[in-house]
Amino acid sequence: MRDLEANLQYEYMDKVRGYVKQQEEQIGRPLTFYVKTFGCQMNARDSEKLVGILENIGYVEGEDEHADFVVYNTCTVRENANNKVYGRLGYLQNYKKKNPIMKIALCGCMMQEPEVVENIRKHYKFVDIVFGTHNIFKFAEILCNNFESGSQVIDIWKDTDQIVEDLPIKRKFSFKSGVNIMFGCNNFCSYCIVPYVRGRERSREPKDIIREIEGLVADGVCEIMLLGQNVNSYGKNLDEPISFAQLLREVNKIEGLKRIRFMTSHPKDLSDELILAMKECDKVCKHLHLPLQSGSSRILKIMNRSYDKEKYLDEVKRLREQIPDIALTTDIIVGFPGETEEDFLETMDVVKKVRYDSAFTFIYSKRTGTRAASMSDQVPEDVIKDRFDRLLKEVQTISAEKAEQYEGKVMPVLAEEMDDQKDGYVTGRLDNNSIVHFPGDSSMIGNIYNVRLDECKGFYYMGELADA
C-alpha cells in the first residue's frame, strides 16, 4: 500500500502526463528521453527510478542525447567526474537551440555541492531542472513545476530522513537488479565527499526490502545486489534494529532467488556474524569487496578509516578460514596527502599478503569540502604516477595468477548479455564475479549454466558448456 508521499507523486505524474500529451500533439510524435548515469551502482539504481517515472508520464526512451529530455545523474567522487558533466553541457546547449521543447535536468551527487549549483545558476541558464540525491522521489513534482512555471527549477535538500517506497522503476536488466537497503554514510573518511552529498545513514525497513525482492523474483530476476554506502552498518537506525547478517539470512530464504551480492562493505564493521552468514547462506556469492584504501596504519588513521593494517589482515584471515574459496576485491588510493615511500610499501605488502582477485586502483583526487583537500603535504604528481604504475603491475600479476587456478574447472555461470566481441558467444559471470565468454544465443541470457573454463585470458575466461 502506497504512503501519502508516493500517492502525491503519482498525482503529479498524472498532471505531467497531460503536459507531455499536449506537446506530443503539437509536434506530431512521441517525446523522447535519455538518461546518462555517472558513478556508482547507487546512481545506476537511482537512474532506473528516473526512467520508471519518465516512462510512466509518457516519454519514450531514445538512443542518445539528441532527445527531448536529457537527464544527467551525476557523480562527484572525483574531480574528473564533474569535468565530464560540464564538458557535455556545451553540446546540450547546441542541441537545445535546435529543439525548443528540449528539457535538460541535472541531478545526483554533484548537485549537492553548493558551488556547483551556483555555477549552473549563473552560467548554465539553459538547464531546466536541478535536484540532488535526497529528493529524487519528487522528480515528477519538480518536473511539473518546470512545465507550469516555464523557468529553471532548482530544488536541493541538504539532508533527509525520508524514504519513499513504491514509485515506478524501470530495470536495465530483466534477470538481475540492484536493491537499495540503506542510504547515506556516517563514516566521514577524510578524502570522501559522499557523507556530504548522500547524507547520514538511513536504513529501509526489512519488510520493504523483502517485499521488493520477492516482487523482482516474481518478475524474472535471479540475482540481486544489495546496495548501500556501508551495508555492514545496515539496520542500526531502525526502530527495531536488525543486523546486515540477519537481513542476509532473510533474503536467502526467498524462493526462486539464485544469487545474492552486496556492496560496499566497510572493514571496520565486518563482524564474525556476517562472515558466518556469508558461509551458511547458499545463495550469497562467494565474493566480497572490502576496500583497503591504504596498507599504512599511519595513513589509515589520517584517512579516518577506523581500522589499521593489522585489523584488516586479521579480517582477511578470518574470512579465508571460514570461506577458503572467497574472492576478495578492493579499492586502493595512491598518493594520499603525506603518503611516504614507506607508507606505499606497506600498501604493497598488504596486496602481496592478501592476493586480491582484482583491485580498483585510484590516484588520490582532491575533493573540495573534505579534510584531506586542505592538507598541506600533497604528494608530487610524478611520485604518484610511479607508485600507481608499480601498484597496478603487482595487482595485475596477482590477479592473473589467481585466475589461472580455475582454468579447466567446470563452474556455474550466469549468462548476462551477448558477447560484443565474438559472434555466437554470450558473456556471463561466475559466482566470484569473474567474466566468462562461451558459445550461446540470446535465449540463454538470465539463466545459469555449468561452463568448463577452457582458457584463462588473464582477466576473463573462454569456456564451453560442460554438457555440450
DSSP codes joined into one string, 116-136: HHHHHHHH-TT--EEE-STTG
Three-state secondary structure along 270-303? CCHHHHHHHHHCCCECCEEECCCECCCHHHHHHH
- What is residue 368's predicted lDDT score, i.e. its pLDDT? 75
Q: At which residue does the C-alpha cell 546547449 appear?
A: 93
Pairing outcome for strands 60-61 and 32-37: parallel
- What is residue 161's predicted lDDT score, i.e. its pLDDT? 81
Q: How far is CA 30 from CA 21, 23, 27, 67, 395, in A?
A: 8, 9, 8, 11, 49
Q: Is residue 36 classed as helix, strand or coil in its secondary structure? A: strand
**297, 333 contact by CB (below 8 A):** no
**252, 283 contact by CB (below 8 A):** yes
**110, 73 contact by CB (below 8 A):** no
- What is residue 404's predicted lDDT score, i.e. its pLDDT? 92
Note down pLDDT in tens along the chain; length 468 residues: 578 899 999 999 999 999 999 999 999 999 999 999 998 888 899 999 999 999 999 999 999 999 999 999 998 877 777 888 999 998 999 999 999 999 999 999 999 999 999 999 999 999 999 999 999 999 999 999 999 999 999 999 988 888 888 899 999 899 999 999 999 888 888 988 888 888 889 999 999 999 999 999 999 999 999 999 899 999 998 999 999 999 999 999 999 999 999 998 999 999 999 999 999 999 999 999 999 999 999 999 999 999 999 999 999 999 999 999 999 999 999 999 999 999 999 999 999 999 999 999 999 988 777 888 888 888 999 999 999 999 999 999 999 999 999 999 999 999 999 998 899 999 999 999 999 999 999 999 999 999 999 999 888 999 999 875
DSSP 193: -
Q: Which residue type sits at 189?
A: C
Q: Is residue 269 classed as helix, strand or coil in its secondary structure? A: helix
**443, 417 contact by CB (below 8 A):** no
Write out pLDDT tens, residues 95-119.
999 999 999 999 999 999 999 999 9
- What is residue 388's predicted lDDT score, i.e. its pLDDT? 97
Q: What burial class does residue 377 get, using C-beta atoms within 10 Å of its C-beta: 0-12 exposed, 13-18 middle, 19+ buried?
A: exposed
**197, 184 contact by CB (below 8 A):** no
- CB neighbour list of residue 397: distance below 8 Å, 6 or more residues apart: none
**67, 96 contact by CB (below 8 A):** no
**Of 228, 121, 140, the residue nearest 179 (C-alpha):** 228
- What is residue 1's predicted lDDT score, i.e. its pLDDT? 58
Grid cell for residue 440? 550461446
Q: How far is CA 76 from CA 38, 195, 230, 369, in A?
A: 9, 12, 18, 12
**Of 265, 335, 322, 261, the residue nearest 296 (C-alpha):** 335
- What is residue 468's predicted lDDT score, i.e. its pLDDT? 52
**336, 302 contact by CB (below 8 A):** yes
Q: Is residue 289 classed as helix, strand or coil in its secondary structure? A: strand
The full length of the chain comes to 468
Q: How far is CA 70 from CA 24, 34, 176, in A?
A: 17, 5, 25
Helices (H), 184-266: 194-198, 206-218, 244-252
Could you tell me the pTM of the whole model? 0.86
Grid cell for residue 366? 582532491
